[in-house]
Structure 1
């Protein structure tokens, strides 16, 4: 692993703090290190001041720890120099004599004030803000995560943006949690600086009197000035670091600089400045306050307010002109229609009366239900559902909604707000009063009932659902019905990549050596078109890899894949605990169908006589009605070689007919034939 220069410098900086504590430093070296400490504090302060958001200095807690250790090491070294030789360099001596003005009492008072300001005001405030920020950031994490999921589901952001936002939320939580702990370094540093100063004064007095035989007054003067200087060169950088901490944890805006934010918030309203200037002029003229200073300041504030007002008026006019120019230019640009070419895979549009159901602020949970639809279909069918875009449409009736697939309306429905839909499962004899309607997902007869009737309906045995559930169920069924055409090559590539993580050999053998992504897509689309789950992609890919060597016909490969999924198919369409009633095909009809199959370069097709086709439809309809009359799902069994062609023949006329081959049945399934499709 290559060692970077920055790593070496960082390591040397930490070692330097230890070396400073162990090895006595010359006064010149001590001056240099103290100056470096002040420079680092200023660099940190200005970085915190001009950072646009707190995460711009995400390493601040670590920086705080390093700079605190370095400053305490300097305190240790300077204390040793003061007590051992009575000298600690020009920087400390200058600070001690200059700030105190040659007066010990003044110097002590100034130092105490500085410590109080740092410890009681800035440090304590920054510590509290960091603590509260950490608490509220952690408490807000679940809500922010849900907001990201909602934006992702509604199409406002894509997967990459959602991942970036989630990472930012985690970074914020880690940062404010670290700042809550790191602020204790600042507090401890202030206390340590005060204690070191007291120890230095007492220790210097004892050494000066007992060892150097200095008069008490001279010893007090010498060591107090040096101690005050040492405390100042330590506490001033500490004060700057405390100020940096406070600035960083109190940042709110992430879009503008702090200077722009302060100026816009303090000086953006001229009337505030006019009032302030007027008050100052009044105080200067009618009170004993210095008239020239107070009233003069008031006049300057009024002049500034007048100039700001003129500037704002000019900016408003320029902004209006600029906006009109931009709009006109946008209209003239030929590229402005490009954004209109995008077609959303799935859209749910609704009238304004349904908006409360989709608005979380009004207690609506439709958005959460839509999020669960994608999870539910992924679990049931193993397919990736595109982002479902929700939008209101004022052109619809207030309680109407429509579902669009690739920009074309494929389903619609209408609900009654504050009502419930009650459906008779078939065994409830007592009728209820309500508004007759039809359940939109399965076209079942139903009635709209009020909230007061809900409990009674449930007691009688009615199936009662609320409006969000009606919309979500309808949307789910529409998506399932059109899931094959919503499955793109990119989605298939995502599924292939997912399988490749655990089965790289299988994928490398199949794609692209035997089949292209498009051919795999066709097989998966065929399966989804008939409601077959593709969640077990490993089994499907194994089947394709075994049979693609002899045939690349995607229809034939689909049949092989179905046979490998016979356990899943039987579980989906057949009852494991009861006998299953089905209908079959007349063997003579099967032979007739096979004789009508024509082979071409583009594939195979069925060329059946129209009269025969009409008889087939009539017979199929009669047999389906038999199954429906006894409460069974319409299932038809054929031989494997005929299944695909009979499916093509009947899929438009009987879309709900489930057509299975004998090779797709689990050995444990109990089958009972109750009819036969025939043309004789």
Structure 2
């Protein structure tokens, strides 16, 4: 029963939200058409003021514009509500204004008598000033900011989409995160475009307020003199006061909502609301407070100045600055009382050496210069730390095993902006990152020259330029791929992890893979290791696949293939007095994974356009490998030159650089070409599925067929 009631309550709340918009429209139309009593007008005017204050507070507490994405629609409905109230109050004022100052309700009477002292001349002046402030200052400024923001947001959309695609391709984010970021970029453009149009409503509302006031004054004079036999002076006093009260009741909420619009479009998005930004940036420097207190205090000592006001404010500012200085001193004293690392190091140096002093080499390490420390500092919420965590997860999903943890340390021997990537203590990559700047990478075909520090992308060697943050939108519009310093380091690390994946797979990782598969198929693992094959041979087989950048995610197929052929290979090896041939195990595993390997190079099910070998050259290579096992220097140089030309032809045609050869030649050619042309893939013709159509579009040693 309780669950049923909860369901009805939830459905009722959902229905109430759905009916909120139509009810508001009906309310607006009703106020324009039906005459309303004074009490109802008081309630609606009070609700209008409350709504304006609520909108301003929500705008103040949002941390980025999209947190209040409904603001343009709210602004439109609030404007319609205010104009319909003007229509309803005008009807009541003209119909019953001769009966007294409370003819249109207590709210209009209070604004017309209490706020302006019952003086209609003062009321007109106050109303016109409020309208001028709203129309010329706040509304015009907010409209201009919204217009410029919409223009720059739309211009920057292609660059932002390219940056999202670059992060996705580099493995820094997943598909769902990329989809969320694309939706956010689209929503941001829609929001600023809507705000640009919504600001016109506010300006029109200010103009309408002035016109309504003039029309009400003239109409009140005509109605009072012609219909109710009032004198011109009496009619002017009564109807003008009511009109002024009506105008002030509408114009003050309009001013508040215009201020909210300015707050929404003028704020800079970060993790703080407007109040936190103002207090953190305006009142956070004690020197500013001391100087302000001194200037105000000196002005307060000038004769005939209001000494109490100036000197009181000077004392408040000076006291605030003193309190901030004392707080900083207490923080420094607390930090000084913490244990001194230098003393601990001296004690450790005085102690005897032990096995704890032996430092093991990190399997995967990252050393950074001192200017890059904020990128990897936990206390400063380093962005690079989060990217490396995401990178390891992405690597595990794509390649098939969890890479080791990246150990990060600072190295004062490096240049301030340099970083070094190490594998088992040996440097495998080095680069430069500029915190606070952006790397504009030329993907090809960009003609605009950017002002900055010319360099090359450390991961792929593309020409690039380090630029200031203010030039980011310009670079994206020009076609550059723009990434920040953290992304540069993370992309470089990801590239090297894929290239050296075979060296990251140790015996412990292989055992963990077997344990993971053993949970689902324990018999399969038991029959393979150690009954049929040793853990070392399996590790070498998997490392051989990774060396050729073949993912090992499909471990079940790999183990099934090895289990099927390992007994025969082991028997042959025992007869010869050796171990099973790892090369043949790799070839068999590649054939089993052929569909996945082909899909990796040629997504979809279309035609496969590859590089082939000339028949004569293939015969010469087969003879050379079968006799001596290696290529002669002259032959190797010719093959390399022809392969480079074929790769260039393939890339010019937009085809994948893949060479298809016989199974006999594939291992030797793959090892030889991998070091000189890492972008070239070498596949055996037996690894391509039968249903895929193969077309040779480039030929090594002859013309394409």
The aligned counterpart of 2:26 is 15
Mapped to 1, the partners of 2:539 and 2:31 lie a distance apart of: 72
The aligned counterpart of 2:84 is 73
Mapped to 2, the partners of 1:49 and 1:548 lie a distance apart of: 64
**Structure 2 gaps, min length 5:** 1-9, 98-102, 345-358, 373-383, 385-390, 433-458, 460-488, 507-519, 529-537, 567-584, 603-607, 644-658
Picking from 620, 629, 653, the partner of 2:629 is 620
Picking from 227, 230, 250, the partner of 1:211 is 227
What does 1:259-658 align with in structure 2 at a 5 Å threshold? Answer: 259-287=275-303, 289-290=304-305, 293=306, 295-323=307-335, 395=413, 404-405=422-423, 409=426, 411=428, 482=500, 529=546, 531=548, 556=588, 558-562=590-594, 574-575=612-613, 580-584=618-622, 619-621=628-630, 624-625=632-633, 627-628=635-636, 631=639
SS at match of 1:127: helix
Mapped to 2, the partners of 1:283 and 1:271 lie a distance apart of: 18
The aligned counterpart of 1:422 is none
Picking from 53, 66, 85, the partner of 2:64 is 53
SS at match of 1:313: helix
SS at match of 1:174: helix
Deviation at 1:63, TM superposition (A): 0.9
SS at match of 1:88: coil
Deviation at 1:234, TM superposition (A): 0.9
Picking from 40, 59, 75, the partner of 1:29 is 40
Q: Could you give the per-residue CA deviations for residues 350-388 of structure 1, whole angstroms, max 9, x where no partner exists? A: 999xx9xxxxxxxxxxx9xxxxxx9xxx9xxx9899999
> Cα 1:552–1:325, aligned 2, differ >3 Å: closer, same or farther?
farther
After superposing the two structures, state which structure 1 stretch, 559-568 or 74-83, moved more.
Answer: 559-568
SS at match of 1:217: helix
The aligned counterpart of 1:179 is 195
Deviation at 1:530, TM superposition (A): 7.2
Deviation at 1:254, TM superposition (A): 2.9
Quick check: 1:94 aligned with 2:116?
no
Deviation at 1:318, TM superposition (A): 2.4
Mapped to 2, the partners of 1:270 and 1:564 lie a distance apart of: 64
> Cα 1:533–1:266, aligned 2, differ >3 Å: closer, same or farther?
closer
Deviation at 1:191, TM superposition (A): 0.7
The aligned counterpart of 1:43 is 54
Deviation at 1:192, TM superposition (A): 0.9
What TM-score, normalized by structure 2, do the two folds share? 0.57
What does 1:124-139 align with in structure 2 at a 5 Å threshold? Answer: 124-139=140-155
Contact 2:610 2:695 in 1 (8 A): no
> Cα 1:574–1:131, aligned 2, differ >3 Å: closer, same or farther?
same
SS at match of 1:134: helix
The aligned counterpart of 1:118 is 134
Mapped to 1, the partners of 2:290 and 2:427 lie a distance apart of: 63
SS at match of 1:620: coil
Q: Could you give the per-residue CA deviations for residues 487-509 of structure 1, whole angstroms, max 9, x where no partner exists? A: 99xxxxxxxxxxxxxxxxxxxxx
Number of residue-to-residue matches in the alignment = 517
Mapped to 2, the partners of 1:563 and 1:63 lie a distance apart of: 55
> Cα 1:583–1:120, aligned 2, differ >3 Å: closer, same or farther?
closer
SS at match of 2:36: coil
Contact 1:582 1:672 in 2 (8 A): no
Deviation at 1:663, TM superposition (A): 4.8
SS at match of 1:574: strand
**Structure 1 gaps, min length 5:** 333-339, 356-366, 368-373, 416-440, 442-470, 489-510, 587-615, 674-680
What TM-score, normalized by structure 1, do the two folds share? 0.59
The aligned counterpart of 1:438 is none
The aligned counterpart of 1:501 is none
Deviation at 1:523, TM superposition (A): 13
Deviation at 1:636, TM superposition (A): 12
The aligned counterpart of 2:205 is 189
SS at match of 1:52: coil
Contact 1:205 1:219 in 2 (8 A): yes
The aligned counterpart of 2:256 is 240
Contact 1:149 1:162 in 2 (8 A): yes
SS at match of 2:426: strand
Mapped to 2, the partners of 1:319 and 1:154 lie a distance apart of: 42
Q: Could you give the per-residue CA deviations for residues 28-47 of structure 1, whole angstroms, max 9, x where no partner exists? A: 11211111111111111222
Contact 2:63 2:272 in 1 (8 A): yes
Contact 1:544 1:560 in 2 (8 A): yes
* Larger gyration radius, structure 1 or structure 2: 1
Deviation at 1:624, TM superposition (A): 4.8
Q: Could you give the per-residue CA deviations for residues 224-254 of structure 1, whole angstroms, max 9, x where no partner exists? A: 1221111111111111111211222222363
